[in-house]
Amino acid sequence: MKLSDLLETAREDAPAARYTVDDVVAAGRRRKRRRNTGWAIAALLAVFAAIGVPQLVARPSVPPATPPPPRSGSLDLLFSGYRSGDLRVGDPEWVSLTNQLASIGREVSPGVYRSVGRIAFYPAGSLAQTSWLGGPMEPAGVINGHAANFITVSRNALVKDTSLLTWKNADGSMVLMAAHENRLSRAEMVRLATAFRVTAPRPARLPFAISWMPPTMRLVAVDVSRPEAATALVTPARDGIGFELEPVYEQAAFVDAWSDPALNSAPRPIGLSFPRSTPGKASAPSGGIVIGVQRGFVPGTGPTPDCAEFTLQFHARQCVAAPDATSNVVARAGYDVPVADLERVATAARTVGVINDPETWPTAREALPASAWVER
């Protein structure tokens, strides 16, 4: 019995075939069609992988008109000064947790500027509480891709004829520009607004340092414009702490001479103040402390603080000290702040760094105890 014969025998008696030659050819055609389709899809995927994926990876998510600044500290300066014709916008002078202010000047003679307005910048997420935004609005066209509006300010004892222009930036920040006594035309306001740019954050610096602060107090605003006289505002810690600097009121002169505050802000809800005052005359926010440090000796002062009522403001007192022969410190608050705390703050402050070299000054975060810093 040969195996080959057995195998031949085993495959005999086959049932009728289910498939014909046509079935085989049809199956072949289907397979060929599927294979060609597969190759086409594979080629498309390969093209996509070679061209599309690198572009997708390299492409930024959404190209903004104004690049959003990197994550910043809570008191970083978020825009820079610039010029437009005879107009100049300064660097931020006052910086708070809620907004930051810069002055606008017109060059009346080479190097001499006259105050004509102010810019208030509200970073994305800041909630402007100023009542001026509630005034009648007029469309001002489109600025940097976003709708802008003029706002009419009602004249009162404190505010003369003032025009406001407000717009938003691509990163969600908002700007309010004020033209005092309409010394800026609407066209000039739009021109300045169009030139405005958010810039990379840089830390606010102070020419002094304070080694002690009541542990409940938080740094909410700093005056960073004047090396010879700087100010810091601290208020009691609370949820959602903020401090909005008043954007509309004008100081009497530009750059080096400033008016007294016309209104004591202490009785008002926290969050509004009149920042542009000399350190010794700044209003004390309710429950908080104004700390001013000046380069210059005041006769009659010494290292031991002298505390007394401050009669120029309602229900306020202050402690004055001279940490050395070249500076003096004022710590002012309402009577809701213990005088012992004012004394200790006045004793703890001293000037730091080279007066005309801001790079030698500590940052606002470094200038006060860590407990006073608000993280955002």
Partner 1 sequence: MSDKEAEFREFVGTQMEALRGLAYLTCGDWQVAEDAVLGALARLYVKWGRVENPQAYARSAVVRAAIDETRRPWWRREQSHGDALPEVMAPDEILNVDDRVHLRQALLQVPVKHRAVLVLRFLEGLSVPQTAAALRCPEGTVKAYTSRGLDTLRRILGAGLSIDERVEARHEAV
Closest to partner 1 by CB, 29 or 315: 29
Per the document, the length of the chain is: 376
Q: How far is the CB of 47 from partner 1 (least distance, A)?
A: 24
Q: How far is the CB of 37 from partner 1 (least distance, A)?
A: 13
Closest to partner 1 by CB, 31 or 238: 31
Using CA atoms, how far apart are residues 147 and 237, in angstroms rounded to an integer? 36
- Report residue 161 as tokens: 């004829």
Using CA atoms, how far apart are residues 340 and 80, in angstroms rounded to an integer? 40
Closest to partner 1 by CB, 21 or 58: 21
Q: How far is the CB of 14 from partner 1 (least distance, A)?
A: 6
Q: How far is the CB of 33 from partner 1 (least distance, A)?
A: 10
Q: How far is the CB of 63 from partner 1 (least distance, A)?
A: 48
The answer to whether 92 and 76 have CB atoms below 8 angstroms apart is no
Q: What is the chain's alpha carbon radius of gyration, rounded to the nearest angstrom?
A: 34
Q: How far is the CB of 17 from partner 1 (least distance, A)?
A: 6
Q: How far is the CB of 43 from partner 1 (least distance, A)?
A: 18
Residues 366, 370, 373, 376, CA torsion sign: positive
Closest to partner 1 by CB, 30 or 83: 30
Q: How many other CB atoms are found less than 10 A from the CB of residue 219?
A: 29
Closest to partner 1 by CB, 9 or 154: 9
Amino acid at site 288: G
- Report residue 251 as tokens: 């100081």
Q: Which helix (H) or strand (E) holds 292?
A: strand 289-295
Closest to partner 1 by CB, 6 or 257: 6
Q: How far is the CB of 124 from partner 1 (least distance, A)?
A: 57
Q: How far is the CB of 7 from partner 1 (least distance, A)?
A: 4
Closest to partner 1 by CB, 21 or 257: 21
Closest to partner 1 by CB, 41 or 65: 41
Closest to partner 1 by CB, 33 or 315: 33
- Report residue 318 as tokens: 């202050």
Half-sphere exposure of 219 (CA within 13 A, CB side): 32
Closest to partner 1 by CB, 43 or 252: 43
Token pair 């810069």 is at which residue?
102
DSSP 24: H
* CB burial readout 291-326, b (16+ within 10 A) else e: bbbbbeeeeebeeebebeebeebeebbbbbbbbeee
Q: How many other CB atoms are found less than 10 A from the CB of residue 370?
A: 8
Judged by the rule CB under 8 A, the positions of this chain that interact with partner 1 are 1-15, 17-19, 21, 23-25, 27-32, 35
Using CA atoms, how far apart are residues 168 and 175, in angstroms rounded to an integer? 6
Q: How far is the CB of 19 from partner 1 (least distance, A)?
A: 5
| Beta bridge partners of residue 324, listed in sequence order | 327
| Beta bridge partners of residue 165, listed in sequence order | 150, 177
Query: What is the secondary structure of 174-193 as a DSSP string?
Result: EEEEEEETT-S-HHHHHHHH
